[in-house]
Structure 1
Amino acid sequence: MLTHSHVRSIEWGDCDPAGIVFHPRYLAYFDHATCLLFARAGFDLTTLQARFGVLGYPVVDLHSRFTTPCRFGDEVRIETRVAEFRNSSFDVHHRLYRGADLAVEATVTRVWAGPHPDDPQRLQARPVPEAVRVALGTE
């Protein structure tokens, strides 16, 4: 199973007045980590759009657990992997560590989405291509 890991520093703009990461910022971190994971597998968003006609993989559900606060200046490591594929949706599991401590754990459910054939302003779920499943090592 393909896992992507990267390190980032907590910036001042990520923090609330108490100097800890404002919780919605973690979702932005995890969205970026998902893009990095797909790119590592050879499927950056531009490639996905050109090859499969997909517009993206929007979030439809999120479960998170916060155990250790992160603060301005902390260096954190984010590990990301696809935990499960279903027909048109998949779960991405993220673990964010501050040092050796697990600070945040989240599972984000996303849907493989393309333009709706009757209304291009809407999205429609599509099956996740086998090539993507194989590249991410969950098949």
Structure 2
Amino acid sequence: MFKNERQVQIEWGDCDPADIVFYPRYFAFFDASTGALFEAMGYTLRQIRDELKAVGFPMVDTRSQFFTPSKYGDKVIIKSEITEVGRASFGVRHQLFNEKGLAVECTEKRVWACLNAEGVLKAQPIPDDIKAKMLSHD
């Protein structure tokens, strides 16, 4: 399945008064990492919206485990990979590593979504070319 990796530096605004990352910030990091995963596959959100007429890939389930804190100034690595691909949904796993090793692991389930004729957001089949890229081992 397709994988990507990116580095993030923990900023002052990511941290709580205890000088560790405030947990909702991890979800923002992981959401951006899903976007980066699609960009690494060759699809920007702008292309997905403008060319493919999809709204994007909203989250329907997310879960995280926190093993060790990250702090202001840390440079962390986020490894992201597609874990499953269905007709209209897909799974992603993110692993955030700091100097102590695996710090946070998150799984997501997302759906490929478009607006129907009435303007209602609905899951749609993932386009074949995107599905093929998700399943590749690049």
Q: Following TM superposition, by how much is the alpha carbon of 1:100 offset from its aligned partner in structure 2, in angstroms?
A: 5.2
After superposing on structure 2, the runs of 4+ consecutive aligned residues of structure 1 that deviate more than 6 Å are none
User: What is the total number of aligned residue pairs between the two structures?
Assistant: 137
- Please report the TM-score for the alignment, with normalisation by the length of structure 2: 0.93
- Please report the TM-score for the alignment, with normalisation by the length of structure 1: 0.93
SS in 2 for 1:52: coil
Q: Deviations over 1:96-120 (max 9, x none)?
A: 00025100001011111001322x2
Distance 1:2 1:86 in 2: 14
Q: Following TM superposition, by how much is the alpha carbon of 1:43 offset from its aligned partner in structure 2, in angstroms?
A: 0.7
Q: 1:131 — aligned with what?
A: 129
Q: Following TM superposition, by how much is the alpha carbon of 1:136 offset from its aligned partner in structure 2, in angstroms?
A: 2.2
Distance 2:114 2:102 in 1: 35
Q: 2:105 — aligned with what?
A: 105
Q: 1:62 — aligned with what?
A: 62
Q: What one-letter code is carried by the residue in structure 1 that aligns with 2:122?
A: Q
Q: 2:76 — aligned with what?
A: 76
Distance 1:137 1:86 in 2: 11
Q: Following TM superposition, by how much is the alpha carbon of 1:86 offset from its aligned partner in structure 2, in angstroms?
A: 1.2
Q: 1:6 — aligned with what?
A: 6
Q: 1:114 — aligned with what?
A: 114
Q: Deviations over 1:24-43 (max 9, x none)?
A: 10110011111111011111
Structure 2 unmatched ranges of 5 or more: none
Map 1:22-33; keep pairs closer than 5 Å. 22-33=22-33
Residue 53 of structure 2 is aligned to residue 53 of structure 1: yes
